[in-house]
Structure 1
Amino acid sequence: MIIEIILLFLLFIFLRHWLTRQKGLPPGPRTYPVFGSGMVVKLEQAIDYQKKYGDIFRTELFGMKVVYICDYKLMKEALGRPEFADRPSFEGFHFLTDGKEAGVIMSNGQRWVNARRFLLRNLRDLGMGKSNLDEAIINEARFLIEDFKQYDGKACTFPESLNIAALNVVWQMVAGRRYDLHDEEVSGFIEITRSLQADFMGFFILELIPILKKLLPKFVINKFFRLDILNQSVDAAKKLFGKSVAARKAEMDVEHAENVIDEYLIQMNKKTEIAEFFNEDDLMRVIFDLFVAGFDTTSNMLRWMIVYAAKYPDVQRRIQEQIDQVVPRGEFPTNQHKSQLSLVEAFIHEVHRVSSLVPMGVFHSTGADSHLEGYLVPKDTIIFNVVGFAHQDPRYWEDPQEFKIERFLNDEGKFISHKEGFAPFMMGKRGCLGESLARMELSIFTASLLQNFTFSPPEGQEIDITPQDRPMEHFARDQDIIISIRDTD
């Protein structure tokens, strides 16, 4: 009798699943009751699915619908529409504020609009995207070059100073200070943050099946879903950022804000219209968003620049020759030299293309039912814009697997700034908040490193350009690279 009841229950589940499924959805693999069909988190699988199902396909996982967009033009269309501009409403993504929506990267609605508008205005006022920020970036480049000199002729992995040098540029705008390139507290927090990124799928599964938090013992949750790492990150963030906020409260002039924290506190206390959702918990998340964005993307891209310079010595040599011709000896490359350093810019953009740092894009969520390419995309669907596929798409790139900086040069050798199929900073209203700053940093840091050093593999070894095996991120593999001071006399 018990077996018959179980079979009838399973039959009911299957019938309910098939009879209630929505029509008109994008194609995708077979879905099963409760479990669904799994989720694509790696570029290789997305490429396989694109070949089978086309430029837009879907999967399901524990009742959550996920749609993947692979074609550049479809991404551009979707990202330009407001119904595709939300972020998923997962409490775990707001770990700094006990599950309450906060910050700018993962917030939605008017809260997000106000936060983004506030940050764009203030970061621009403080120099983002302007030539007067050159001095701050060049100053960090000087410290970075001096730090790299200690590794001359040695085989070593990427110096950790890359992280803090990249962070310091934005941190001076955010908090009015810079860190020593070997600051132990900041380095420790960055290490915890990297661990958090590596264990992302564990946290994500808990968001999809929240009952696990109640059913499983704490030690099991910590071991298999790494909530201990998350809690370490929360404690370290509150300690580190709390110091910055306390320092600014003690030093700031309420009539003359000097950085983002100052202006946030002033607007919050005045209760201005833009500060409708401002509070100190939200400020902590805003600082966290800017902190992680400040070091993560730029420092990881600088690692890729070093890897590809070492992998392609002829390209590295050509770039160095151009730098030597353009930048006077004893000076650092600046934003003023950028238009003449076409090979540097072409190199940076080609490295962006082949590395695709965030190959699945930062996920979005639909705020309303919509249609794309004739398919229904229901409200609350998770959206992945598979930029890593677009960067390899033969419809936009000839011989896409080859590394060729010439893709970004015209017949006269001038840099081509815009190419169809290229979207490392994504597009639309959710495009990277700090894109202009990141571009300036990458230009000056990359040119400065190649002006002063040559990068090469240890004798008898090959440079590995395959990314680390991590979901949704393409980080350069740790490996030995020889850093050699250039003799430019």
Structure 2
Amino acid sequence: MVIVESINHIIEELVKYIPDVVYDYIPESKISRSLLIGAATGALAYLIFKKRYRLPPGPSKWPIIGSTVLYTKGSLAKKFLDLSKKYGPAFTLYFGSSRIVVLNRIDVINEALLTKGAHYSNRMILYSTKVMLKNGDDIIFSNYSTEWKLRRKIAGRAMRLFMVGGSFNKKLEEAVSKTVEAMLKEKEPFDPKNYMFFTTLNILGAMVFGTKYDIDDEEYLTFLNQLEGISSAQSAGMFIENVFPPARLFPSKRFRQFTDLLDQFMDRIDTHVQRIRKTFKPGNITNFTESILQAEKEIKDEGEENMADYKSIHVVSTVFDIFLAGNDTSRQTLYWALMYIAGLPDVQKKIQDEVDSVVGNDRYPTTSDRENLSYTDAVLHEVMRIGTVAPVGVPHMTSCDTTIGEYEVPKDTLIFINHWGIQNDPDNWEEVEKFKPERFLDKDGQMAPKPENWLPFSAGRRVCLGETMAKPELHLILAALCQRLTITLEPGVEVKIGPMVKGLTIVPTPYKIVVQERIKA
């Protein structure tokens, strides 16, 4: 009571100094005046007693818009790395009124993701995300919770069941052989981007649903157009519906297109899931959807208490995650890889010599060959270092007030992990701009322990679910393409081999290739 009376006294004293022209607008009635003073008292009390945090330092912010660096041209990841040299490994930015803390060094990243993982494992739940998942909960975009851990547990077991089931190698060989066959039909230099999409989508379709596509199949082309449309709509920038709720009553044309494509895509996934569910026989796993159903049954039989929280929509949303994350990241990684393989003939020759020595030419590489394809694996690691597909990953959000180093981080703060930054910081790597696969090998030419600053799949509770599938998939695709083809850049066209900043992203310099057959498929 004493505090309130003191604040009222302060307000009364401040009113004395209000200019007459302003004072004329203050209501004269005692009730109106009391309401005004009460509102001012509340506002001042909030400002006085609002908790102050010792936030990581950062550039100044502007009212309404926040930090201008978020709106200027150039790669966010590059700008974040530059800012870290001035403000330190953790710094604070603002997107409007939303607080962002960016982590740019492996020690603070490990503190957040490993030491204090539960504090840093939430997500920012956007309206567009809720629409995307039909208000269901998935694994990538949902908050860390008991229900999330169950979904993750089922998906993780499903991944392991599928990888040891024996069909992985066969499905990969079928998909890559179709890609090789289609690429060899090209008689002029061509952009390989669509073929990398064909490879990864064919593999995903085969692995998840047991389907097989030719490059002109109607369903493949439908999947292609839907995924491209969804990606294009998202990359065009933030939906106004996310930040201005009234706009949801009259959604923009872009948002309507986005939701229409999502509805079609999710319905297609649901149709496949229901088809597989009807014919599924426990113990007989031929695709990833069946492995989810098997894992679901096993965990239920083990007496998992929370199985009532696991619904049919969660199978669909898990498959959706695999398609959304697995397809886009894999095809982009392969697109980066082909640029370096075509542009650096010595690198390609070393891969081909290794594959010829280990595998020969009468079969495709398999998972059992991986440990002996070290140089090819090192090339993949170097591609993923320079060509970081998700430069700042999927943003995290703090679930409680916490700390990072010597600083405080409030609850509901967005956390960006600068994956590209730690993988391309000259302080972390020698000859950082040089494509140098040997940096990942030991003196005997075998894969050395993973460098701590190589983190394309993130770490901790939100580590990429598909890592156990993506690494062998990309490794073997790369080996198989080099085994079957000789790949060169378009003759007479000079291409700068390396990354190019395009808008806020870092992408390969545009290029075209020519392929020649080495070994008949």
Give the TM interval when normalised to the shorter protein. 0.7 to 0.9
The two structures have a TM-score, normalised by structure 1, of: 0.86
List aligned pairs for 1:310-349, cutoff 5 A: 310-349=342-381
Q: Which deviations, in whole Å up to 9, do the C-alpha atoms of 1:343-380 show, x marking residues without a partner?
A: 21111111111111111122111111110011111111
Is 1:31 the counterpart of 2:74? The answer is: no
Task: Please point out which of 442, 445, 461 is paired with 1:410.
Answer: 442
Q: How far apart are residue 265 of structure 1 and its match?
A: 6.0
Is 1:479 the counterpart of 2:511? The answer is: yes
**Percent identity over paired residues:** 26
Q: How far apart are residue 175 of structure 1 and its match?
A: 2.7
Residues 477 and 234 (structure 1 numbering): CA distance in 2 closer, same or farther, change over 3 Å? Answer: farther
Q: How far apart are residue 26 of structure 1 and its match?
A: 0.9
How many Å separate the matches in 2 of 1:32 and 1:175?
50
Task: Please point out which of 257, 260, 266 is paired with 1:229.
Answer: 257
Is 1:158 the counterpart of 2:192? The answer is: yes
CA contact (8 A) 1:55 1:70 kept: yes
Partner of 2:148: 112
Partner of 1:145: 180
Letter paired with 1:322: E
Is 1:243 the counterpart of 2:243? The answer is: no
Q: Which deviations, in whole Å up to 9, do the C-alpha atoms of 1:387-409 show, x marking residues without a partner?
A: 10101122321121111111112
Task: Please point out which of 499, 516, 520 is paired with 1:466.
Answer: 499
Task: Please point out which of 470, 473, 482 is paired with 1:441.
Answer: 473
Q: Which deviations, in whole Å up to 9, do the C-alpha atoms of 1:279-305 show, x marking residues without a partner?
A: 343333222111222322212111111
Is 1:76 the counterpart of 2:110? The answer is: yes
Range 334-343 or range 355-364, more displaced: 334-343
List aligned pairs for 1:167-182, cutoff 5 A: 167-182=201-216
Residues 180 and 470 (structure 1 numbering): CA distance in 2 closer, same or farther, change over 3 Å? Answer: farther
Runs of 4+ aligned residues of structure 1 deviating over 4 Å after TM superposition are 14-21, 254-260, 262-268
Residues 103 and 176 (structure 1 numbering): CA distance in 2 closer, same or farther, change over 3 Å? Answer: same
Q: Which runs of 5+ in 2 are unaligned?
A: 1-18, 27-39
How many Å separate the matches in 2 of 1:332 and 1:260?
22
Task: Please point out which of 430, 433, 442 is paired with 1:398.
Answer: 430
1:155 aligned counterpart, secondary structure: coil
How many Å separate the matches in 2 of 1:122 and 1:417?
27
How many Å separate the matches in 2 of 1:174 and 1:110?
26
CA contact (8 A) 1:155 1:481 kept: yes
How many Å separate the matches in 1 of 2:306 and 2:487?
47
How many Å separate the matches in 2 of 1:318 and 1:17?
66
Partner of 1:276: 308
How many Å separate the matches in 2 of 1:252 and 1:102?
24
Which of 1 and 2 has greater Rg? 2
Range 181-190 or range 55-64, more displaced: 181-190
2:163 aligned counterpart, secondary structure: coil
CA contact (8 A) 1:36 1:62 kept: yes
CA contact (8 A) 2:266 2:320 kept: no
Q: Which runs of 5+ in 1 are unaligned?
A: none
Partner of 2:34: none
Task: Please point out which of 413, 428, 433 is paired with 2:460.
Answer: 428
Q: How far apart are residue 256 of structure 1 and its match?
A: 5.5
1:144 aligned counterpart, secondary structure: helix
RMSD: 3.4
How many Å separate the matches in 1 of 2:44 and 2:192?
55
Letter paired with 2:370: K
Q: Which deviations, in whole Å up to 9, do the C-alpha atoms of 1:3-39 show, x marking residues without a partner?
A: 969xx9xxx9x99998758431111121233332256
Letter paired with 1:104: I
How many Å separate the matches in 1 of 2:46 and 2:418?
28
Partner of 2:6: none
Residues 146 and 337 (structure 1 numbering): CA distance in 2 closer, same or farther, change over 3 Å? Answer: same
The two structures have a TM-score, normalised by structure 2, of: 0.81
How many Å separate the matches in 2 of 1:15 and 1:311?
64
How many Å separate the matches in 2 of 1:282 and 1:144?
32
How many Å separate the matches in 2 of 1:398 and 1:155?
35
Residues 254 and 440 (structure 1 numbering): CA distance in 2 closer, same or farther, change over 3 Å? Answer: closer
How many Å separate the matches in 1 of 2:353 and 2:169?
23
Q: Which deviations, in whole Å up to 9, do the C-alpha atoms of 1:441-488 show, x marking residues without a partner?
A: 1111001111121222222212343346254x5444553222222379
List aligned pairs for 1:91-106, cutoff 5 A: 91-98=127-134, 100-106=135-141
1:282 aligned counterpart, secondary structure: helix
